[in-house]
Amino acid sequence: MKPYRINELASKYVEYDMIQTYTELPAFPDPRLRLLHAVLNEHGALAPKSELYSLVVSLVQLGMDTHDLIDTEENRRSEKEMRARQLKVLAGDYFSSRFYSLLSQAGQISMISKISTAVCEVNRLKMDLYIKMQQSKLKAEDYLNKLTRLKSEMFQLFAEMMEGAFVKLWPEMLQDVSRCEAVLDEMERFDSSSRFYQSWAYWHVMQEGTPDEQQRLADKPEPSLIYDLLGKYELQSRLVSKLKHAADNLRSTAAKLESDQLKKVVQDLADSFLEKMAAHTSA
Q: Which of 66, 85, 107 is the last residue of a domain?
A: 107
| Mean pLDDT within 94-98 | 84
Phi, psi of 84 (to 5 degrees): -60, -40
pTM (two decimals): 0.93
Burial zone of 124 (CB within 10 Å; 0-12 exposed, 13-18 middle, 19+ buried): exposed
Is residue 258's pLDDT more than 70? yes
Q: Give the total number of structural domains in the chain.
A: 2
Reported as a pLDDT band with limits 50, 70 and 90, residue 53 is very high
On whether both 182 and 227 belong to a single domain, the answer is: yes
Reported as a pLDDT band with limits 50, 70 and 90, residue 72 is low
Cβ contacts of residue 210 below 8 Å, gap of 6+? none
On whether both 230 and 149 belong to a single domain, the answer is: yes
Of 119, 11, 101, which Cα lies nearest the Cα of 65?
119
Reported as a pLDDT band with limits 50, 70 and 90, residue 77 is low
Q: Which of 82, 107, 132 is the last residue of a domain?
A: 107
10 lies in which domain range?
A: 1-107
On whether both 102 and 145 belong to a single domain, the answer is: no
On whether both 271 and 155 belong to a single domain, the answer is: yes
Is residue 16's pLDDT more than 80? no
On whether both 152 and 43 belong to a single domain, the answer is: no
In a domain, 102, yes or no: yes
**pLDDT > 70 fraction of the chain, expressed in percent and rounded:** 94
In a domain, 73, yes or no: yes
Contact by Cβ (8 Å): 225, 196: no
Residues 261-283: pLDDT tens digits? 999 999 999 999 999 999 988 86
The rounded distance, in Å, linking the Cα atoms of 122 and 120 is: 5
Burial zone of 258 (CB within 10 Å; 0-12 exposed, 13-18 middle, 19+ buried): exposed
In a domain, 242, yes or no: yes
Between 208 and 83, residue with greater pLDDT? 208
| Mean pLDDT within 240-257 | 97
In a domain, 125, yes or no: no
In a domain, 116, yes or no: no
On whether both 103 and 145 belong to a single domain, the answer is: no
On whether both 169 and 266 belong to a single domain, the answer is: yes
Residues 209-229: pLDDT tens digits? 999 999 998 877 788 999 999
